[in-house]
Amino acid sequence: MLKNIEELNGMREAGKLASEVLEMIGSFVKPGISTGELDKICNEYIIDIQKAIPANVGYRGFEKTLCTSINQVICHGIPDFNRILKNGDIMNIDVTVIKDGWHGDTSKMFLVGKTQAHNERLINITQECLYKGIEAVKPGARLGDIGHAIQTHAEKNYYSVVEEYCGHGIGKIYHDEPQILHYGLANSGQEIVEGMCFTIEPMINIGSKFTKLLSDGWTVETQDGRNSAQWEHTIYVNESGAEILTLRKEENL
Ligand code: MF3
Ligand code: CO
Ligand code: CO
């Protein structure tokens, strides 16, 4: 669904709140804290300070505010008071906030203490993949151009792109059409038009692209046990490109 200016302003506010959750939680991410505690802090911040709604709570039976995906976990890791962060872990925190019915969905990678150089490289290249996907967005381009830009950059760096999970249209509906694949062919797929809102959220693996779903029904891991990274923004397509609705102050774009 295309957004008019009033709807865009609703999306801007939701996106800003989601980005502020990631900014707020950063100083708490340290060895010794549990992902359950991080989740509780964000839940209370969204409800009590932002006067907003944590979209993941109750979504298809998910019970937490955040997804906390550590090391070989690709996405949808469940916060847990028994999972204590340790030095060297890498973790994605993914949060979606609902404000006035509008959704803002974003995630970033956190380094816990000091991590190995190969993990930092994965994290940085994956963020570049997100940015290259965003740069491919403009009216008249096609959705395949986004996936192509991401896949090309990942594979040039000897990484693989997860195929089973994708970005999505977003608005009053959390996961709407169209699907935004993170791989694909240039000049293929649906045309991008002004007024669209969608997420781009590439999951990039050091090893093979294959995934496995754990028996909790949510946690997705790499089949080979090697690490994975993800970054996500919610964007709006304007007359010349993408407006990033979930941009953080630390990003110099
Ligand atoms: N925020 C995730 C996404 O980027 C979806 C999480 S659904 C949950 O689309 F239920 F696992 F929280
Ligand atoms: Co998303
Ligand atoms: Co998300």
Residues 196-243: pLDDT tens digits? Answer: 999 999 999 999 999 999 999 999 999 999 999 999 999 999 999 999
Residue ID of nearest Cα to ligand 1 atom 7: 56
- Atom of ligand 1 at shortest distance to CA of 105? 1
Ligand 1: residues within 6 Å at CB? 56, 59-60, 62, 67, 76, 94, 96, 105, 201, 218, 232
In a domain, 251, yes or no: no
- Atom of ligand 1 at shortest distance to CA of 96? 1
In a domain, 68, yes or no: yes
CA of residue 231 to ligand 3 center, whole Å: 9
In a domain, 65, yes or no: yes
User: How much is the pLDDT for 232?
Assistant: 99
In a domain, 253, yes or no: no
In a domain, 237, yes or no: yes
Is residue 102 packed enough to be buried (19+ CB in 10 Å), middle (13-18) or exposed (0-12)?
buried
In a domain, 97, yes or no: yes
d(CA 181, CA 163): 7
Closest residue by Cα to residue 133 from 202, 206, 209, 187: 202
Contacts of 192 (CB under 8 A, 6+ apart): 137, 138, 139, 140, 141, 142, 143, 145, 237
Contacts of 223 (CB under 8 A, 6+ apart): 208, 210, 211, 212
Supply the CATH number for residue 239's domain: 3.90.230.10
In a domain, 198, yes or no: yes
pLDDT surpassing 90 at residue 97: yes
Contact (Cβ atoms closer than 8 angstroms) between residue 200 and residue 141: no
User: How much is the pLDDT for 191?
Assistant: 98
**What residues are neighbours of ligand 2 (ion), with CB under 5 Å?**
105, 199
In a domain, 250, yes or no: no
Query: On the CB side of 102, how many CA atoms lie within 13 Å of its CA?
Result: 23
Q: Domain tally for the chain?
A: 1
What residue numbers bound the domain in which 163 lies?
Answer: 5-244
CA of residue 231 to ligand 2 center, whole Å: 10
